[in-house]
Amino acid sequence: MICNIDRSDGSIFLEEGRVLARNTSLHQVLDMGFAVWNDWEVNTGWRHISITNILILGRPASAMLSFFREELKKVFFVLLDQDRTDPEKVRQHHDKVLIAAFGPPHSRDIHGFIKYAFAWGSIESSYDPRGVESNIILTWT
């Protein structure tokens, strides 16, 4: 398996030399030429853009990039290499991929979602009941 997430700082290395890293500016990300299909700003300092046609953990994915005051703070991504109609099966698939990339989880929450804690932040499986979608969240703290 290809793990394109750097364990030392959480940077995500994508094709064509593009790198998503802590505090990358919104303008730098937009200049990378991603296919942006959604862009919305929340009047709290947060702005979110959705991108697609990327590879994360060696699999096709789409992602929502969350910026606070124009600096990248979170990446929510969904692996697109399996049917996504059953959120529980998607979560199980995400967990399997994360365990293959990072080893046994550092912890599980009360719902069984796995989490890895690093000095720079965390990676965790998650479920969004509003969007009825399972995803993986990388957060820089």
Q: Are 74 and 139 in contact (CB under 8 A)?
A: yes
Specify if 29 maps to a domain. yes
For the chain, 141 residues long, give each residue's pLDDT as a single digit of tens: 467 999 999 999 998 899 999 999 999 999 999 989 899 998 999 999 999 989 999 999 999 999 999 999 999 999 999 887 888 888 899 999 999 999 999 999 988 899 999 999 999 999 887 777 889 999 999
Specify if 36 maps to a domain. yes
- Which DSSP letter does residue 119 get? T
User: Where on the phi/psi map is residue 131: left (φ > 0), alpha (ψ -120 to 50), or beta?
Assistant: alpha
pTM for the model stands at 0.93
Specify if 99 maps to a domain. yes
Residues 18, 1, 101: CA angle, nearest 5 degrees? 85
Specify if 5 maps to a domain. no
Let me know how many helices (H) and strands (E) the chain has, helices first. 2, 10
Distance CA 13, CA 25 (A): 16
Distance CA 87, CA 93 (A): 10
Structure tokens at 53: 């046609």
Enclosing domain of residue 107: 12-140
Q: What is the pLDDT of residue 97?
A: 94
H-type helices in the chain, by residue range? 26-31, 87-102
Distance CA 6, CA 57 (A): 11
The number of folded domains in the chain is: 1
